Chain A
């Protein structure tokens, strides 16, 4: 469903991504990990065209992301994205956050959007907070709302960029639980995360990035069993034993 083919990207002289190739099949869950600054966020933002790239191709269900003729808003509306810092819209209530794009992008009427939004809010366990504002919720609750907001668009795939790393430790699980549930229901997911417990539980494949390159791209058992590259081994031992 997501095909990434020899993608390279530069910020001026600095090469952030070097010949990255991988793919995510329908229903597959792929975890992307690697040291900070290795280009994980950049790669995942290239998938829905939030970051342009200079060479290579990315296609989502056959639509080429880098093609200037592609209607990016339309493509993005079909790919959900969840950010490290939640990025709920602070001036809008929870239900308004859930309805905004449904109405403005998909053209749903307010009642439809509301019904969908409340159903998803219930699913992430936050129905009681519908009338509140983002600033009145905890980080974990905000991130669950952000997931619900993305799901309200009926996405064909979901991208996560370190969805739990800005959270206090006691809130990590409430967000991971929602993501595990989603994976089990067959959602296609590409997740940048260092939560290896999550990866073990639901990932099909694990991608390890270092200095802008995909160093390892392996089935989860293989990755956790015996990563081939030294860098991946070093990284794994660091995050698993701290």
Chain B
């Protein structure tokens, strides 16, 4: 380990063929952002659907959604990623498995993004469900009593308030997608933590490398935090205490 701090290392050529070290980290940042953002979008869609289904009166579907949440919340993300990356292609029908192994574009990225989406989606579903349940039963009755159908009542009455209520926990889930994307280094995605390891190995500048990577992660967390705070401000309901349900 080299404890001599040399900031100039960031400008030096890396032996990986990716250009200077700062570019190596930038590539990592790019993949981290791409994985976290696509995983998050997927998680929002899956989580909203599963969360709603879990509160809806169709028992079989609700049980299915409950099972999804339990399974994906309780198995470590690393194990889930290994499953999608190494196991799934083997147990799929031969054609599909071969496609996954040989022809699927950006296999590490796609696997990481979808895997992260499914993992985070289960956590979002939990938040969405508790948001809906925190609304008084009277709100649903009021929607139905006006002649709205159940889907219309969800769309216009329950979900707008439920999402407002769960913005704070969703903010931390969104930030978690950036942190969790680092797990994808285990399947070879060249995201930021993967690049950090490479730079440490080749340059031996541990302190500079870790400092730079820390700053980048903190910068992303800050951006997400600001974005969510902006959304929360825009969604604030006049006359209501921030984040308060009933």
User: Which A residues lie at the B interface, using CB under 8 A?
Assistant: 45, 48, 50, 72-74, 76-81, 83-85, 87-91, 100-101, 104-106, 132-137, 149-150, 153
Within the complex, what minimum Cβ distance (angstroms) separates B57 from chain A? 11
What's the nearest-Cβ distance from chain A to residue B95, in Å? 46
- Compute how far the CA of A89 lies from the CA of B156 in the bound complex, rounded to whole angstroms: 9
Interface membership of B92, Cβ < 8 A: no
Q: Does B149 contact A (CB under 8 A)?
A: yes
Shortest Cβ distance from A107 into chain B, in angstroms? 11
Nearest A-chain residue to B155, judged by Cβ: A104
B245: nearest residue on chain A (CB-CB)? Answer: A90
Query: Which one, A85, A100, A134, A135, contacts B136 given CB within 8 A?
Result: A85
- Name the residue on B nearest A84 (C-beta): B138
**Which listed residue (B141, B148, B152) contacts A83, Cβ 8 A?**
B141
A98 smallest CB distance to B (angstroms): 11
B 161-173 binary contact with A (CB < 8 Å = 1; else 0):
1001000000000
Tell whether, in the assembled complex, residue B148 and residue A101 are in contact, meaning their CB atoms are under 8 Å apart: yes
Known: A85-B136, A85-B138, A91-B160. A133 touches B238 (CB 8 A): yes
Assembly CA distance A83 to B146 (angstroms): 12
B144 within 8 A of A: yes
Residues on the A chain within 8 Å of B141, using CB: 45, 50, 81, 83, 87
Find the B residue at minimum CB distance from A48: B145
> Given that A73-B149, A87-B139, A91-B161 are contacting pairs, would A132 and B144 also be in contact in the complex, using a CB cutoff of 8 Å?
no
Q: How far, in angstroms, from A137 to B164 measured CA to CA in the complex?
A: 20
Tell me whether A74 and B147 are in contact (CB under 8 A). yes
Chain A CB within 8 A of B157 CB: yes
**A105 & B142 in contact (Cβ 8 Å cutoff):** no
**Complex Cα spacing A133 to B138, Å:** 18
Q: How far is the CB of B158 from chain A (nearest CB, A)?
A: 10
Known contacts A90-B237, A133-B238, A135-B237; is A105 also within 8 Å of B146 by CB?
Answer: yes
Q: Given the complex, which residues of B lie within 8 Å of A150, measured CB to CB?
A: 145-146
B58 interfacial by beta-carbon distance below 8 Å: no
Contacts of A50 in B (CB 8 A): 141, 144-145
Q: When the two chains form their complex, are residues B237 and A77 in contact, meaning their CB atoms are under 8 A apart?
A: no
**Beyond A50-B145, A81-B141, A135-B239: 13 further Cβ-contacts under 8 Å?**
A48-B145, A50-B144, A72-B144, A76-B144, A85-B138, A90-B239, A91-B161, A100-B148, A101-B148, A105-B148, A106-B147, A135-B237, A153-B146
In the complex, 11 of the A-B residue pairs with CB atoms within 8 angstroms, ordered by the A residue number, are A48-B145, A73-B149, A77-B146, A78-B147, A85-B136, A85-B246, A87-B142, A88-B142, A104-B152, A134-B239, A150-B145
User: Is B149 a contact of A89 with CB atoms below 8 Å?
Assistant: no
By a beta-carbon cutoff of 8 Å, the part of chain B in contact with chain A is 136, 138-139, 141-149, 152, 156-157, 160-161, 164, 237-240, 246
Contact of A83 with B147 in the complex, beta carbons under 8 Å: no
Closest to B149 in A: A73
Q: Is the CB of B161 within 8 A of A73?
A: no
A136-B146 contact, Cβ under 8 Å, with A87-B139, A89-B157, A91-B164:
no
Query: Using Cβ atoms and an 8 Å threshold, which residues of chain B touch A79?
Result: 145
Contact B157 A101, beta carbon cutoff 8 Å:
no
**B residues less than 8 Å from A77 (CB atoms):** 146-147
Q: Would you call A87 and B239 a contact (CB within 8 A)?
A: no
**5 nearest A-B pairs in the assembled complex, by CB-CB distance:** A135-B239, A77-B147, A87-B142, A136-B239, A101-B146
Tell whether A135 pairs with B146 under 8 Å between CB atoms, given A45-B141, A91-B161. Answer: no
Distance in angstroms between the alpha carbons of A153 and B239 in the assembled complex = 26
Q: How far is the CA of A83 from the CA of B143 in the complex (A)?
A: 12
User: When chains A and B are docked, how far (Å) is the Cα of A101 from the Cα of B149?
Assistant: 10
- Selected contact of B148 from candidates A73, A84, A87, CB within 8 Å: A73
Residues of A within 8 Å of B246, CB to CB, are 85, 90
Report which of B149, B160, B238 forms a contact with A132, defined as CB distance below 8 A: B238
